[in-house]
Amino acid sequence: MGLAKETPLYETPTDYEDDVYLWLCEQIELLRQKRIQEVDLPNLIEELEDMGSEKLHALESAYRLLLAHLLKWKYQSQKRSSSWEITIVRERHQIEDREGESHTLAAKAKSIVDRMYGRAVREAAIETGLPRETFPAECPWTLDQLRDPDFLPD
């Protein structure tokens, strides 16, 4: 006697394009129940790729904001504010959290800083009104300094 075909978990599965959150919840439940044949693999793969990219972009953004604020802190000291300091603290927490979740991303920190530094200089130049040439061509701080919760440039 043959095995009966399993009834689909969802009579009408949510379309990925209609409600990505509900769709994702359904995919998770299908995976939990090991109902792999019902999983929307092409869209799940795409969503997982997007999640990985988003984690990288979040770390890049945190380093860019941190660098821009450290540059402003150093080169426009007369305008230092608690708002700048809060941003520096917040972005360091973001970096710590993101790098703590992924050793692979932490290992890419130097290349991320090298890539984000030019963007941070542009932002700092716009915000301070100082010419870009005011700022060093390369990041003047080490990764240890950038990650140090107490480091602020003179």
Tens digit of each residue's pLDDT (9 = 90 or more) over 95-133:
999 999 999 999 999 999 999 999 999 999 999 999 999
* pLDDT band (50, 70, 90) for residue 16: confident
Tens digit of each residue's pLDDT (9 = 90 or more) over 5-15:
678 788 788 98
Average pLDDT, rounded, for the chain? 94
92-105 core/surface letters (b: 16 or more CB in 10 A; e: else): bebbeebbeeeeeb
* pLDDT band (50, 70, 90) for residue 2: low
SS3 content of the chain, % helix, strand, coil (to 5): 70, 0, 30
Sequence ranges of the domains in the chain: 55-147
